[in-house]
Amino acid sequence: MELNEERQERYFIVVRSSKKGLSRGSIGRADAETAAGDLIGMVYGGGGSAKSSGTVKKQDTHPLTRHQAQLLLFVSPASRRLELLCNVQLFSAICALAQDDLVVVKHKKDFQPCLVKNLIHIGKKDKPGVLQMLGFELDLVDTQHDILSKTTAPLPFFSAADIVQVAPSHLNTRRPLRDSIALGLKRKAVSRINSMPALNSRNAKKGSIFLNTDVSSSIQSLSHSSLEVGSMAEVISLNGLTVFGVIRWIGVPEGKKNCWAGLELDNEATTCSDGTFGTKRYFTCEGNKALFVPLTNCKPDSRFLFIQNEIPKPLEPPSVTLLEDLNEDIPPVAEPDVLSHLIGRMRGIQGHFNSCYLDATLFSLFTSSVAFNRMFNRSADSEEGISHILRRDIVNRLRRTGFVPAESVMKFRKQLGCKSFATEEKDPEEFITLLLKHVLHIEPLLKIRSCGDLAQGAYTHQIIVEKNQVRAVPSVQQLLEMSFVSSDLKFEEIPSCLIVQMPRFGKKFKLFPKIIPSTELDITDTLHCFPRECFLCGHLAEYECVQCLMDHKLQPGKIKQYCTTCNTQVHIHPSRKEHTPQKLIVKDHLPEDAPLQRHQMQLFAVLCINTSHYVSFVKYGPNPRSWIFFDSMADRCGDDNNGYNVPVIRSCPEVGDFLSQSEEEMSTADVSQSSEMVRRLLCDSYMCLYQRTE
């Protein structure tokens, strides 16, 4: 066998399961490469010792530097290594950390700001066949007193995966953490890399070490930033603890003179409410999570510290897939894990260059629903074809890591077969039709029969109604039924997914100022040749009357079908003698009193638009309050030329609370008193997405 020897050490991580038994996330060193492109080398186990040797296909690996391999080796379990590697910006920043850099780590179920002190060798000293792991020694920052606290127990050593945020450097001269020779410890333990001097030793005092001026000013400057509804903020509570949350309301509450803020906290507190202050409700959230404080007590969340004049630029994503095998489908995030996995800044799909229509649509289709996974299995394109790019680089990455970089989306946009989709603003329905019909060659989602003709295929349904045909604040249920009856339409079969476009003229003019998204859509009366109930007695219906639709004595706006007896009685009335009921066609003969099944579809997402910008609401579980809001361009870091968009996902349980009311209560509610999220859902709805409940 011919080998291409390499003198330089080459490390790799396994990104796809191998038939040879190497699991995903394994770290190895390649000693040689065969002519066929297989790597020959060893895989490291716990503690950095060689566990096994063998071969692995090069395309099933991703190359690493020695430094990257040592950092990732200290991360466990192995699956977390791939998650970290997928977050290109964060991992690159971690690899380049310098002494005194400010980071945020997750420690004891909380987020803590820390300063980097040392890079630590963990495990036995380097020798042939052993690769020492690398961890970080950090000092905790007490942001209340601008000191490095020494009064608490020493912090453990942190792995690269424990670091959730890296702030840009706040020092003029940064000392890199050099991976040099470790101290001479023969056995285990840890070795501090001796290029790291003690931190601010001249200012050391018993019990604490004062921060340098730059760090202090960086943290203090946060309090001078502007805060608004939707800002992530922190507050020092009465017991001295720092609590974090999202500002949900700003104003002057009853009995107060100054401006206050209402925050929805990340965690429950016994002294907090569900959005009420005094006797009045200002917003709605989970119980024991609403905190009201003077606005001057709030400052921007230091866990997401951004220091001006240093703009981190988005990096190119790895060239090799870091997610599941192409033939695997990652399931949606489980309902209990959504808040910890998806909520926050730099979560969801990152927007870039007129992509909000596509970002919001993809997020709606794939975050919580598996109804559209079938498109992957029905497409026959190559491993680098568009369906595999969609599955691998967007859907799997979104569900597994919670973040899709703009570069992955742009790669997908360029594969859509039309240059304008990579540069121009489009409509969601245009994108859906192109994707399903012309790119993936998926059969139409809907088969709709018009005026008794043969059924026609469609991917979305545009609701067309007159404004005077429904109530002032209609529901999607009313709009769909009116649209079908007035245009003489029927579904040929029960659709697996139903995408309904709200009645609008262009992006600006709305036919209705508010529309209620029905959480359950009953399509029984819009099905062709399906048994239906008599509107009056509940027995098997045999006639349908279009003219009875708007009869004010018979629930106007509701589709009317009758059994033979009720049809005769209803049309005896003088005002209905001119009606012409149509005989219904039912395929299977059923007894008159047979129980009839209702066919319902469940709302799983709503696309909204305001001033040409698309956002998305997604229901992520059976709990009525399980709603999240997504905006791919909620914020921007840097300017138009050198910056990048910051996508944000927010929890909005108040949306579920509002939609849990009766239709009558929702239609008469004063939306101006509702939360921002509820107002956007009702006033800006553009498209509602439903799936079969079964």
Active-site residue set:
356, 613
Sign of dihedral through CA atoms 540, 546, 547, 548?
Answer: positive
State residue 261 phi and psi, 5-degree precision. -125, 140
CB count, 10 Å around CB of 9? 13
Q: For residue 615, give the 3-state DSSP assignment.
A: strand
Sheet containing strand 27-34, edge to edge, reads: 50-57, 38-44, 27-34, 3-14, 61-64
Pairing label, strands 497-501, 461-462: parallel
User: Could you tell me the two tokens for 488?
Assistant: 């003489």
User: Which residues are CB-contacts of 426 (< 8 A; sequence separation ≥ 6)?
Assistant: 357, 358, 420
Nearest to 585 by CA among 529, 648, 627: 529
Q: For residue 474, give the 3-state DSSP assignment.
A: coil
Residue 326 near residue 388 (C-beta atoms within 8 A): yes
Q: How far apart are CA 407 and CA 89, in angstroms?
A: 12
User: Which residues are CB-contacts of 370 (< 8 A; sequence separation ≥ 6)?
Assistant: 329, 331, 332
Alpha-carbon Rg for the chain in angstroms: 30
Residue 460 near residue 433 (C-beta atoms within 8 A): yes
User: Which residues are CB-contacts of 520 (< 8 A; sequence separation ≥ 6)?
Assistant: 600, 601, 602, 603, 693
Compute, in degrees rounded to 10, the torsion defined by CA atoms 333, 338, 340, 344: 110
Give helix then strand counts, H and E, for the chain. Answer: 16, 41
| Distances 353 to 403, 542, 565, 633 between C-alpha atoms, Å | 18, 55, 62, 10
Q: How far apart are CA 543 and CA 263, in angstroms?
A: 55
| Distances 201 to 204, 208, 210 between C-alpha atoms, Å | 5, 11, 10
Q: How far apart are the first and last CA of the chain?
A: 56
